[in-house]
Chain A
Amino acid sequence: MNHHEMIRLTALQMAEELRKKTFSSVELTRAHFERIYEIDGTAEAGIHAYLHLNEDEAYAVAAEVDAIRAAGGAEAEQLHPYAGVPIAIKDNIVTIGQPTTAASKMLEGWMSPYDATVIRTIRAAKLPILGKNNMDEFAMGSTTEYSAFGVTRNPWDLNRAPGGSGGGSAAAVAAFMAPWALGSDTGGSIREPAAFTGTVGTKPTYGSVSRYGLIAMASSFDQIGPHARTTADAAALHQLIAGHDPKDATSLRTSWDGLLDAAQNQDLRGMRIGVLDELQGPGFTDEIDRQFETVLDMLRDAGAIVSIVECPNIKYALPAYYLVVPSEASSNLARFDGLRYGNRVVPHEGATAAEVMAASREAGFGDEVKRRIILGTYALSAGYVDAYYSSAQRVRTLVQQDLNKAFEKVDVMIGPTTPTVAVPMGEQVSDPVSMYLDDVVTTPANLAGIPAISIPGGTADHGMPVGMHIQGPAKADEVVYRVAAGLERLIEEATGVPFYDRAPELTAAVTMEGERL
Chain B
Amino acid sequence: MSDLTRDQIRHLSQLAHLNLTDEELDRVSDELDQIVDSVARVQEAASEDIEATSHPIALTNVFRADVVRGVLSQEEALSGAPEAETGRFKVPAILDEDDR
B6 to chain A, nearest CB (A): 12
Residues of B within 8 A of A378 (CB): 4, 8, 12, 32, 36
Does B32 contact A362, Cβ atoms closer than 8 Å?
no
Contact with B along A315-354 (1 / 0, CB 8 A): 0100110110000001000100111111110100011111
Question: Contact: A388 with B9, CB < 8 Å?
Answer: no
A374 to B40, Cβ gap below 8 A? no
Contact with A along B19-58 (1 / 0, CB 8 A): 1100010001001101110111111111100111111110
Q: Indicate whether B97 reaches chain A with its CB closer than 8 angstroms.
A: yes
Which residues of chain B are within 8 angstroms of A400 by Cβ–Cβ distance?
53, 56
- Check: B67 CB closer than 8 A to any chain A CB: no
Cβ A370 vs Cβ B12 within 8 A: no
Tell me the residues in window 367-396 of chain A with beta carbons closer than 8 Å to chain B beta carbons: 367, 370-371, 373-375, 377-378, 381, 387-388, 390-396
Candidates A342, A371, A394, A432; contact of B46 at CB < 8 Å: A394
Interchain CA distance A333-B46 in the complex, whole Å: 28
How close is A165's CB to chain B, nearest CB, in angstroms?
18
A361 touches B18 (CB 8 A): yes
Cα distance, A113 to B80, chains bound together (Å): 8
Is the pair A113, B92 in contact by a Cβ cutoff of 8 Å? Answer: no
Q: Is A362 within 8 A of B57, CB to CB?
A: no
**Bound CA–CA A375/B42 (angstroms):** 15
Q: Which residues of B contact A343 (CB under 8 A)?
A: 82
In the complex, what residues of A have CB within 8 A of residue B52's CB?
A: 390, 393-394, 396-397
Q: Does A206 contact B (CB under 8 A)?
A: yes
**Known contacts A393-B52, A394-B51; is-contact A249 B59 (Cβ 8 Å):** yes
Given A362-B20, A393-B54 in contact, is the A338-B82 Cβ separation under 8 Å? yes
Partner of A388, one of B14, B28, B42, B51: B42
* Centre residue among B9, B42, B51, B82 by max chain A CB count within 10 A: B42
What does the 1/0 interface line of A106-141 toward B look like (CB < 8 Å)? 000011111000000000000000000000000000
- With A206-B57, A433-B38 given, is the CB distance from A357 to B17 under 8 Å? yes
Interface string of A245-280 (1 = CB under 8 A from B): 010011010000000000000000000000000000
B68 interface residue (CB < 8 Å to A): no
Q: Is the interface of B mostly helix, strand, loop or mixed?
A: loop
Contact A316 B42 (CB under 8 A): yes
Q: In the bound complex, how far is the Cα of B3 from the Cα of A387, in angstroms?
A: 13
A375/B36 in contact, CB under 8 A? yes
Chain B residue with Cβ nearest A110 = B80
A357 CB to closest chain B CB, in angstroms? 4
**B42 close to A432 (CB less than 8 A):** no
A112–B92 Cα gap in the complex (Å)?
Answer: 23
Docked-complex contact B24 and A319, CB < 8 angstroms: no
Chain B residues with CB under 8 A of A446: 56
Chain B nearest CB: distance from A208 CB in Å? 10
Assembled-state Cα–Cα distance A54/B13 (Å): 38
Q: Are A374 and B13 in contact (CB under 8 A)?
A: yes
B35 in contact with A375 (CB, 8 Å): yes
B1 contacts chain A at the CB level, 8 A cutoff: no
Contact A111-B16, Cβ < 8 Å, known A390-B52, A392-B42, A393-B52: no
Residues of A contacting B8 in the complex (Cβ-Cβ under 8 angstroms): 378
Asked if A352 and B100 make an inter-chain contact with CB atoms under 8 angstroms apart, the answer reads yes
Tell me how far the C-beta of B71 lies from the nearest C-beta in chain A, rounded to whole angstroms.
10
Smallest CB separation, B18 vs chain A (Å): 5
B66 CB to closest chain A CB (Å) equals 15
- B41 to chain A minimum Cβ distance, whole angstroms, is 6
Which residues of the other chain, A, contact B19 by a CB distance below 8 angstroms? 358-359, 361-362
A284: interface (CB < 8 Å): no
Which of B31, B54, B55, B97 contacts A432, CB < 8 Å?
B31
Asked if A365 contacts B51 (CB within 8 A), the reply is no
A397 touching B50 by the CB < 8 A rule? yes
| Cβ–Cβ contact B56 & A352, under 8 A | no
* Sample of 10 more A-B contacts, CB < 8 Å, known A361-B16, A392-B42, A432-B35: A220-B56, A313-B45, A316-B44, A337-B17, A343-B82, A375-B36, A378-B32, A387-B40, A388-B40, A449-B56
A-B contact list, 5 entries, CB within 8 Å: A319-B38, A341-B80, A353-B91, A361-B18, A394-B45
Closest 10 CB pairs of A and B: A449-B56, A393-B52, A394-B46, A319-B39, A344-B82, A391-B46, A113-B76, A362-B19, A396-B53, A394-B50
